[in-house]
Amino acid sequence: MAVPSFLSWSESLITFDQRDHPSYVTRPGCYPIVVDPIVRKKHLTKVLMDGGSGLNILYIDTLDAMRIPRLELHLAGSPFHEVILGAQAYPLRQIDLPVMFGSRANFRSEVLTFEVVDFPRSYHAILGRPCYARFMVIPNYTYLKLNMPGPNGVITMSSAFSNAFACDREHYELTTAVVN
């Protein structure tokens, strides 16, 4: 009989209960989860958590604002789809950056690979399934929260409804302007 090889952090129990419930829930499931991780020592305030995306995306404007030299970029993989309606998208390059979730008392940092793109943007970055898997993130779209295992218990990242709404509206306006 094969002995299972468990992934790191798999021993943590992740749950949501009434303690996670915000005082008010606006249109459950309608808004994105927008979080504010630390990416290479910079606090990014508009990072979309997109469990439907197979990529982590960093916009070139964000890279420049972080003052990361473009010499640190390396060759990108292949083109991808569904980022720009009906078109293939090509990343400029890739970069590996540490991403940290949590607080001083309980945090985790992992290195993630980002596709660097030059698209119009409403977010600083998009974290997709590679991030969810690396951090073992469990989302709750009703509460706009993410839970993940940390060294001192569960780390919870919350998305303010006002920030999620503003980012969603900005993204809608940006994408409808590009399509029209």
- Edge-to-edge strand order for the sheet containing 138-140? 138-140, 145-150, 153-158
Domain 27-179: homologous superfamily in CATH: Acid Proteases (2.40.70.10)
Residue ranges covered by each domain of the chain? 27-179
Region at 131 (left for phi over 0; alpha for psi -120 to 50; beta for the rest): alpha
Rounded CA-CA distance 140/120 in Å is 28
Q: How many other CB atoms sit within 10 Å of the CB of residue 19?
A: 7
pLDDT in tens, the chain (180 residues): 788 888 888 888 999 988 888 887 777 877 889 999 999 999 999 999 999 888 999 999 999 999 999 999 998 777 776 555 556 677 889 999 999 999 999 999 999 999 999 887 888 999 999 999 999 999 998 888 999 999 999 999 988 777 777 777 877 777 666 555
Provide the whole-model pTM: 0.87
Q: Residue 31's closest CA among 135, 173, 143, 177?
A: 143
